[in-house]
Amino acid sequence: MAAPDYLIIGAGSAGCVLARRLVDAGRSVTLVEAGPPDYRMDYRIHMPAALSHVLSGTTYNWDYRTVPEPHMAGRTMFCPRGKTLGGSSSINGMIYVRGHQQDFNQWAALSGYDDWRAEHCLPFFKRAESVAFDAGELRGRDGPMKITRGAMDNPLITAFLEAGQQAGHDYSPDLNGDLQEGVGPFDRTISCGRRFSTARGYLDSVRKSGLLTILTRAQATRLCSDNDRVTGAEIAERGARRVINAGETVLCAGAIDSPRLLLRSGIGDPAIIGGAGLSVLHELPGVGRNLQDHLEVYVQQACTAPVSIYPALKWYNQAWIGALWYLAKQGPGATNHFEAGGFLRGSDSAPWPDLQMHFLPVAMNYDGTATAGQHGFQIHVGPMKPVSRGQVTLSGIQFNYAEAQADREAMRSGIRKVREIISQPAFDQFRGVELTPGPHIQSDAAIDSFVAQHAESAYHPCGTCRMGQDSMAVVDNTGCVHGLDGLRVVDASIMPAITNGNLNAPVIMLAEKIAAAMLA
């Protein structure tokens, strides 16, 4: 079989985008995914409300864990990553947030590449999306990704939006538009009551193309090279190994697995590579460093009126919810229930909003492992621009959450601002006792201790193969790995800094942008 023009390793959000755009342009592509197909009859990855089911399993989830985090009471933290076509877009919370315009100006400043400023990224956000609601000229109308909003018909959501404004925050009709500040409806990757992953948006139209070969349950074990040129990769597939050569190899394995594949191939810090008993092919000390993530906590409140979605968690109600979803793609199963949220400034000195809130009309753990056992609601809150940095190595993942004093201060501010919103008159008819952190948690020290014991990842790892021009940068402005030919990295790992909000939309954008550069 002739070598393809491109070998793409990882069929996640970036990999699906690249495969589609390259095939549409007449290029031959082999797309390699370590996980199984995105089986269309498996409700876990297609029913929006079932996201906790897929997060708590390992069929479609790598289920990574960190090493004990020193500032999180020594806890080992959960780090789920998608393991199927669509990658993490097939298991995430389906919230679609572009980020603040200043995020991309920051990328340009940190990397030294001016073509990553916000005005250069906007056309690729628009190219990617097709919004199903009235929106301004900043939004896309005919892209592959279907973007919708929830009905927001639960009275607790109405109370949240009113309370946010009563607390002095703006109402933003489009958090992906002109104003990414205040409270408002969330955009979601849900269409016709089903999760709309990048596999659905980008791959479906080209799956049967003669130019695209998709391999599932096929894991890249190392990159192959000839001097300073990467020629392809060794693939482990159904108990056998083979080498796939290509004109160009593109890593789209994500912020955890892209740096690990580089390190296994001898590309990275010689100390890490040599420590694992491997030979150094190419020295790039920044591989695996600069790891960032969003940390969050839940402020959970008892609800004095029976209006939360708590009854939907009962086993005896889930049968009819499932049947309604299977038959009509309607009902409680057809939404992720994160239909509203907001972006606030943690302090007056913040140059742009640096806290995100997600509102949920029930009190439960994100992965479904525990519920409050009663009617309630919760607001997830966390700092969007953490200062702390971690590292991915061949032996472990460490985020160093809350290592920086600034991150601890931002989290305290976030919890207090959420409490201020819940104390507003709009919640008077619903507000019961605060369940977590609890009314006794008030001082800085008490809040810090609560966060250390209970905070969770928001599942947004990035930055481990960052774009730039200094000695610790890994790729250039088009994802090409410094010092090697025939190799790119295109995924969240190349972000110089984490963005304001959930990462799926920026990953899709950067893949669209680099695809255009590759074809140019």
> What is the set of active-site residues?
460
Under a CB-based contact definition with an 8 Å cutoff, are residues 401 and 364 in contact? no
Enumerate the H helices of 382-503 as residue ranges: 405-422, 444-454
Coil, helix or strand at residue 187: strand
Under a CB-based contact definition with an 8 Å cutoff, are residues 272 and 263 in contact? yes
Cα separations in angstroms, 32 against 8, 81, 121, 444: 6, 16, 27, 48
Eight-state DSSP code of residue 386: -
Which residues, including other chains, have CB under 8 Å from residue 225's CB and lie 6 or more apart? 231, 265, 281, 484
Concatenating the DSSP letter of every residue in 105-131 gives HHHHHHHS-GGGSHHHHHHHHHHHEEE
Tokens of 77: 């933290």
Omega before residue 70 within 30° of 0, cis: no
CA-closest candidate to residue 377, choices 306, 458, 456 = 306
| Residue type at position 500 | N
Q: Is 99 left (phi over 0), alpha (psi -120 to 50) or beta?
A: left
Concatenating the DSSP letter of every residue in 330-368 gives -SGGG--S--EEEEE-SSTT-SS--EEEEEESS-B-TTS
